[in-house]
Amino acid sequence: MSAPLIVSIPHSLGREEAMRRLKTGLSRAASSVPVLKVDEERWEDNRMIFRVRALGQAATGHVDVDEDHVKVEVTLPWLLQRFAEVAQTVIRDRGRLLLTKRS
């Protein structure tokens, strides 16, 4: 099993507003990436647990929402490991956009 990909995204929204934005954000973000499909998304308090599929491979992870940052942790299957750096950049960029734009 490979080490998880971890991305921390700072924000100044507070926990509740960040969670509100994220609750619609994963599906919306996935719809803009044709090869990405959300298989599961569920919330337990301030943690979103998810499973996504890309290129026929499933990746699992969770998002922890705190008052001043969001931490995304994703475990990629070995076939997608070669895209880990790109995935990390995409997660960070889309997360910042979601957590900084006005809604």
Q: What mean pLDDT comes out for the span 5-20?
A: 93
pTM for the full model? Answer: 0.79
pLDDT greater than 70 at residue 1: no
C-alpha–C-alpha distance, residues 75 and 36, integer Å:
15
Domain 5-98 maps to which CATH number in 2.40.50, 3.30.310, 3.10.20, 1.10.3470? 3.30.310
For residue 66, the number of C-alpha atoms closer than 13 Å in the C-beta half-sphere is 8
Q: For the residues of 6-43, what is the DSSP string, one character each?
A: EEEEE-SS-HHHHHHHHHHHHHHHHHTSTTEEEEEEEE
pLDDT at 60: 93
Across the range 77-100, mean pLDDT stands at 80
Average pLDDT score, the chain: 85
pLDDT at 81 (0 to 100): 74
pLDDT digit string, tens, across residues 26-54: 777 767 777 778 899 999 999 999 998 88
For the chain, the structural domain boundaries read: 5-98
